[in-house]
């Protein structure tokens, strides 16, 4: 068992170190110049807002879209009520009544999932560009002006993505997610340099309407992560996805562990299922860095998390199990053991290879962590030192533990819907 555990652990160490060094080299080669392209034309844009039981957030979400700094006559908004059982439909109608000067269309349909909801809007869309907007997110007014000019660089650019941040984190769990989003957005911006973006998140991803229709619309078969599936499909057709950091979209993060688990269960499970669906791209040089680096990462990230968490549990419990096993031979005579206890440690007892990997990973992570906050215009200590401490030393354990439940669901074939 020791040999097997050691092999798995070193596989996780070296694989993690390899990818960390790879993206660190991309970081070092990046010119770090933020694009300042200005908008020169105003094409028609359709913003689709699918909602299911979002009575608390749908109205402020739609209001944030209506406040976009963009010509009103060039903006079409389609709100989709996907069979909500609460007052979502009433809230949408309130917004339509309060803003009579805007082109706001309502689609009221039976529940069919997010992909089907988006497709119902896509069929009616008049815009040259199609925007997906989650009903619990809020866009900054400058978003379209910042994002649309990037499509002019290459007709193969199918989607441009904003920087996603957590809105007003109120507790420790949400603050840790705030840090996670900041770091992830910066990594996605690095991935964008090599055309390795593998997910176009729901909050305000901007697509070329013609391309989305050409590749067959969104997956309407209750795909757990239709945004990731669409990104993989676009990559399989060798289109480009561009990640920006100069405009923000705010989203509401899960506020407790149960909500976080349900969210990550859907995200991670959907990532694995869709990666297997598009496995033909994995290690395929035809798809460049995306096939060689990004596709394997989707699968390996979960495996590494499981190995690391399982190893932590195994090596944490093992000494105590061994101790109680040995004590059983002396009828659990603890006092004799305590009287004869002696502690010995020598610096040569340390595992220097493991220590080297840990120091290298920590150094790279801290450099990227610092740079991600600079690039996203955020203060590292914005939410206090305790939040930073818990993010660095606890958050990985929280997410890693969730992978255990996800692994059991995948093994059992448990089905889940959006």
Cβ-Cβ contacts under 8 Å for 110 (sequence gap 6 or more): 82, 83
pLDDT of residue 418: 52
CATH code of the domain covering residue 100? 3.90.550.10
**339 is a domain residue:** no
**382 is a domain residue:** yes
As given in the structure block, the two tokens for residue 396 are 């990985």
Domain coverage including residue 378: 1-334+351-418
**343 is a domain residue:** no
**324 is a domain residue:** yes
- Separation of alpha carbons 261 and 402, rounded Å: 6
Cβ-Cβ contacts under 8 Å for 211 (sequence gap 6 or more): 158, 234, 239
Cβ-Cβ contacts under 8 Å for 114 (sequence gap 6 or more): 50, 52, 82, 202, 218, 226, 418
Cβ-Cβ contacts under 8 Å for 325 (sequence gap 6 or more): none
Length reported for the chain: 418
**17 is a domain residue:** yes
Report the DSSP pairing between strands 240-251 and 137-139. antiparallel
Q: How many domains does the chain have?
A: 1
What integer best gives the mean pLDDT of the chain? 90
Dihedral angle of Cα 262, 402, 248, 172, to the nearest 10 degrees: 100
As given in the structure block, the two tokens for residue 124 are 């009616």
**346 is a domain residue:** no
pLDDT below 50 — which residues of the chain?
Answer: none
**342 is a domain residue:** no
As given in the structure block, the two tokens for residue 119 are 């497709």
């Amino acid at each position: 068992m020791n040999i097997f555990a050691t092999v798995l652990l070193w596989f996780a160490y070296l694989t993690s170190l390899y990818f960390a060094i790879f993206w660190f080299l991309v970081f070092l080669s990046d010119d770090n110049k933020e694009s300042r392209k200005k908008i020169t034309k105003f094409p028609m844009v359709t913003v689709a807002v699918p909602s299911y039981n979002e009575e608390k957030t749908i109205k402020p979400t739609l209001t944030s879209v209506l406040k976009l700094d963009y010509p009103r006559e060039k903006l079409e908004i389609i709100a989709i009520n996907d069979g909500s059982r609460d007052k979502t439909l009433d809230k949408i109608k309130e917004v339509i009544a309060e803003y009579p000067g805007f082109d706001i269309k309502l689609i009221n349909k039976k529940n069919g999932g997010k992909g089907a909801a988006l497709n119902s809007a896509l069929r009616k869309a008049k815009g040259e560009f199609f925007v997906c907007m989650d009903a619990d997110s809020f866009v900054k007014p400058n978003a379209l002006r910042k994002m649309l000019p990037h499509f002019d660089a290459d007709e193969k650019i199918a989607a441009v993505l904003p920087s996603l941040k957590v809105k007003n984190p109120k507790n420790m769990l949400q603050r840790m997610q705030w840090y996670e989003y900041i770091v992830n957005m910066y990594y996605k911006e690095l991935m964008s340099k090599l055309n390795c973006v593998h997910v176009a998140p729901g909050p305000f991803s901007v697509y070329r309407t013609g391309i989305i229709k050409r590749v067959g619309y969104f997956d309407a078969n209750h795909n757990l992560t239709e945004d990731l599936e669409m990104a993989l499909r676009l990559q399989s057709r060798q289109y480009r996805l561009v990640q920006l950091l100069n405009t923000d979209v705010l989203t509401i993060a899960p506020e407790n562990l149960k909500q976080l688990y349900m969210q990550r269960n859907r995200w991670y499970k959907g990532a694995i299922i869709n990666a297997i669906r598009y496995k033909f791209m994995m290690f395929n040089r035809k798809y460049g860095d995306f096939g060689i680096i990004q596709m394997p990462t989707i699968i390996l990230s979960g495996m590494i998390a499981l190995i690391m968490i399982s190893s932590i549990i195994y090596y944490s419990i093992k000494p105590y199990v061994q101790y109680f096993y040995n004590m059983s031979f002396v009828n659990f005579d603890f006092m004799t053991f305590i009287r004869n206890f002696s502690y010995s440690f020598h610096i040569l007892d340390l595992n220097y290879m493991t220590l080297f990997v840990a120091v290298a990973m920590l150094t790279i992570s801290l450099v990227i962590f610092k740079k991600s906050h600079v690039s996203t215009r955020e203060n590292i200590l914005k939410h206090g030192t305790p939040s930073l401490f818990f993010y660095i030393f606890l958050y990985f354990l929280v997410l890693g533990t969730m992978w255990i439940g996800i692994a059991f669901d995948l093994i059992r074939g448990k089905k889940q819907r959006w």
